[in-house]
Chain A
Amino acid sequence: MSFFSGLKQRLTDGLRRSQELLSAELKTVFEPDRPIDDALFEELEEILIAADIGAALAADFKHRAKEEQMFGTVTRADQLRPLFRRFLVDTLAATTGTLDLAHQPSVLLMLGVNGAGKTTTCAKLAAQLKDDGKSVLLAAADTFRAAAIEQLQTWGARIGVDVIHQAAGSDPAAVVFDAVKAATARRVDVLIIDTAGRLHTKSNLMDELVKLKRVAERQLPGAPHESLMVLDAPTGQNGFAQAAMFHQAIGLSGLCLTKLDGTAKGGIVVRIVRELGVPIKLIGVGEKVDDLGPFDPARFIDALVPEA
């Protein structure tokens, strides 16, 4: 992805904290002389659970490792490290994807639960696409949360991107309608729609989201070209339920994993990618405009489980 340049360092810095924590623990498990026994597997399982990867997936890996051990392909504990890396690569790299920006306009619908970082992600993405020479339009379709529109407008002014909006409390579908119309008329390259945070268990709010998608689709066949769920890294096992319900409701094209600059590792995405086949497309590592980048499975895995 050409539009994210110079990101390598920041991203690596942001991910480093997750890495520091995990790699120290993994080191004691993947000690060359350590016997591969139940105690080792138990320790490994705990490390994986601590990364929010979940008990089920941890058990899966244990299975696979035990098989390899039976076949004699793994005899020393340090051989488990590349095996584990391969396990992650097989899972995460199988479904990669970049943003579909081939349309004019490409319509991106950003959605997720409350407080995941949708508005900030919209603004960061808009700024980076603009820097890359694309014309961008933002739409403030979160008409519910107090001052959500002002938040996006402030961002818009800061990064020099127009924001399509209506009054607070107005119908978000009308905002989407206006925005798609404006984006088509102005021939912009990308339209990014910020929606209200909603818990995946609220059927009325999920219906509203389905309607937003339908409105965009009716206005511009093929839109939205991306329906991205924003998920923050501290989220635990509930993240899977979120992804599953949003995916079922409108069909997700990808995930944005935010707040990776903390100590949380966002391990739940492994299960989401594996079981739902929804790829991670973007990651966020801070509050600044350039703290957003494309998801690179190799680098993500390097950060989680370094080669040595």
Chain B
Amino acid sequence: MFDALSTRLQSVFDKLGGHGRLTEDNIQAALREVRVALLEADVNFKVVRSFIERVKTKAVGQDVLTSLTPGHQVVKIVHDELVGLLGGSGHRLATAPHPPTVIMLMGLQGSGKTTTAAKLARMYAKQGQHPLLAAADIYRPAAIDQLKTLGAQLNVPVVGDASMKPLEICRKAREEAATRGLTPLILDTAGRLHIDEAMLDEVKAIKAEIKPHHVLLVVDAMTGQDAVTVAEKFNTAVGIDALVLTKMDGDARGGAALSVREVTGRPIAFVGVGEKTDALEPFHPDRLASRILGMGDVLSLVEKAQEAVDQKTAEEMVRKLRENAFTLEDFRQQLKQVRQMGPLDQVLGMIPGLGKMMKGGAAELAGEQKDLDRFDAIINSMTPAERTHPEVINGSRRQRIARGSGTSVSDVNRLLKQHAQLKKMMKQLKGMEGKLGRMKGLPGFPSLRG
């Protein structure tokens, strides 16, 4: 699973020849590559410098494990060290002894505070709590409307009035939360620069009076070297309890998170992975470490697959395999499961190594997504008998199906061919049922290539 960086390190060690033990000399060259990888991932250069020093002391003298090449060994050390630095996973925001628990969001303009506020509200509401949102951004036009619209979608009440001062809004919201028994109270504040004294005073005043239990700094994953300055200033001026890393659904490597974590010492609580209100995830340090090093995100992929594939369907599929009764209906079921994992380009982006290849292949991928839609339409245009016994589909039936689904006969042929191939492949797999049982999270991925 060690892709991009390890390939580069491989050439370094190839030049140096085989080594059973990492020495100061051979590791020096390797760490130069590590340094570039981290800088390209937007980790702050000062953080990189101290990090490299630490890794060097750790790595020198280590035996190269027999199962690994020296390049992999270095990546492993770097990876482990990164995971350690990024901190524990699943930092939970403790519930206050006396409700409401107050959570305050702050950050630069456009970092994603309002969206995060709505996502948090949804998460708590899903857990059976009754959150209250306070829209304290009176500066950006329609920011209060934005939170109110999101609140209405989620059935979460929102306090906010552009004619009131931000502190008054927060005060009113806390009173309302107390009288109506709502918790947690989530304060969405205006975006502000970390060097804007007047605006920092405003958020300090809110903090002093409302005393939020958790002050969350919202950081855009695409932030560059400046993340350190931003986090440092906010931390000194206001104080931060935890971090939220947003826009992680793009291809930013998210090195800013490491910088911010290093200068504030605060844990990363949540990660934002999309524009919709359900796109908030707990933080996993190992995944981010892999991503910073350009190694893809295999675990997220597996998890997504497990989410999408419901266990019953999977068992049913295994039974069908045994009986060798894999119909077109089953084929469609599988295509559906692949689609439930999200847009194909995102899913494939998580596979190590593919991230890079995808740069040129975006159009191709979009084509495959369209293929899936087309296959769905084609199967819809078949009679139930044709779906269970595709061998009856002759030339004239093919023409009818193509017309009915708005596709061409060659599309229909392609689908039938893929189904036949898959069926054949599964027949071969039957012999290895033991193995299949172990990977039931991912039952027989259909090949997307014709």
Contacts and interface: CB of A to CB of B under 8 A. Distances in A.
Interface of A: 17, 46, 49-52, 54-55, 113-117, 144-148, 150-151, 153-155, 158, 168, 199-204, 206-207, 232-239, 241-242, 245, 259, 261-265, 267-268, 287
B343 A204 contact: yes
A145 B275 contact: yes
Interface stretch (B235-243, B252-260, B322-330): B252-260
Given A236-B223, A264-B225, 17 more contacts: A46-B45, A52-B225, A54-B39, A146-B147, A151-B141, A151-B142, A151-B145, A154-B141, A199-B247, A201-B249, A201-B349, A204-B343, A206-B362, A236-B42, A236-B256, A263-B229, A265-B226
Contacts of A203: 343, 345, 362, 365-366, 369
B40 interface: yes
A236 B224 contact: yes
The listed residue with most B CB atoms (<10 A of its CB), out of A55, A144, A199, A206, is A199
B112 A264 contact: no
A112 to B, nearest CB: 10
Contacts of A201: 249-251, 345-346, 349
Could you say which interface size class chain B belongs to?
35 or more
B262 interface: no
Given A55-B40, A241-B251, A50 B225 contact: yes
Given A259-B109, A263-B195, A237 B150 contact: no
Nearest to B221: A238
A90 B448 CA distance: 47
B222 A262 contact: no
B225 A236 contact: yes
B194 interface: yes
A242 B147 CA distance: 27
Contact of B247 (A114, A262, A263, A264): A114
B110 A52 contact: no
B40 A234 contact: no
Nearest to A244: B359
Contacts of A267: 224
Contacts of B39: 49, 54-55
B140 interface: yes
Contacts of A148: 142, 146
A114 B112 contact: yes
A198 B249 CA distance: 11
12 contacts: A55-B40, A145-B275, A168-B149, A201-B249, A204-B366, A234-B224, A236-B222, A237-B40, A237-B224, A262-B194, A262-B230, A287-B109
Contacts of A52: 42, 224-226
Given A145-B275, A147-B142, A203-B343, A268 B366 contact: no
A131 to B, nearest CB: 19
B124 interface: no
Interface in B278-293: none
Given A113-B250, A259-B109, A237 B193 contact: no
Given A147-B142, A262-B108, A234 B220 contact: yes
Nearest to A168: B149
Contacts of A153: 142
